[in-house]
Amino acid sequence: MKFFLDSSDINEVEYAFQNFGIEGVTTNPRQLAVIGKKESEVVRELAEWTASRGFAGSREFPVSIEVNPNLERWEDIYREAKLIVQQGPCFIIKIPCTEQGLIAARKLEKEGVRTNVTLVFSRSQAIAAARLGAKFVSPFVGWKENYGEDTFDYLNDIIRIYKNYNYQTEIIVAAVRSGKVIADAAKMGADIVTCSLETMKNSVYHPFTDYGIRFFTESWNSVEEQ
């Protein structure tokens, strides 16, 4: 299972690449608001960063950029997608799973522009993304869990459906908030998880590890000091 970083912050991308070995990046409009940057600036930074690392295309290091959510008509989504992909070979166009969004994604994929169908919350939405040949689909987990929904069967079913029909669309488990979801996704055989740097860090932390280090340090020092 691959790990993508869910962030628009270039410093976080660099940190996670160096220290967690991330294999791609996903961005979204909320992250732009968090860092207070326009998407055009982030696209430029990510284009420069991927070029500086020698990534020649979306197969080596996919970077998902979400289209302006104000755009509703497929023609406008399609036009903006074309502008984004011109700026770097690593870019994947993240498009919300609406009827118009799916029309745009189908046309883009036919022309060789890779897409990531996002804001997916149901099995039938995930089927629609696969049938049009999207490169990626992003079923969200955290948002559903916030409202008390159990997401284990939902994810498991999407993976099973994709296997049943040999759909080639890669599943990015998105809005991941915990190490448990990362482990669940791996157990099910998801292709990718995308999560924040904080979630990535938390997933390798355990308080017993800290306790063990303190305990072993005391043991070590008691012998050394004799």
110 is catalytic: no
| Residue number with CB closer to ligand E4P (137 or 159) | 137
Which of 8, 50, 138, 169 is the binder for ligand E4P (CB under 6 A)? Answer: 138
Binding mask 194-223 for ligand E4P (x = CB under 6 A): x-----------------------------
Out of 3, 8, 10, 28, the only residue in the binding site for ligand E4P (CB under 6 A) is 28
Task: Report the distance separating Cα 52 and Cα 54, nearest Å.
Answer: 5
Using rule CB under 6 A, residue 26 touches ligand E4P: yes
* Residue tagged active-site, from 2, 38, 94, 110: 94
Q: Which 3-state string (H, E, C) describes 23-66?
A: CEEECCHHHHHHHCCCHHHHHHHHHHHHHHCCCCCCCCCCEEEE
Judged by beta carbon, residue 25 or residue 54, the one nearer ligand E4P is 25
Active-site residue list: 94
Which residues make up the interface to ligand E4P (CB under 6 A)? 6, 26, 28, 30, 118, 138, 142, 174-175, 194
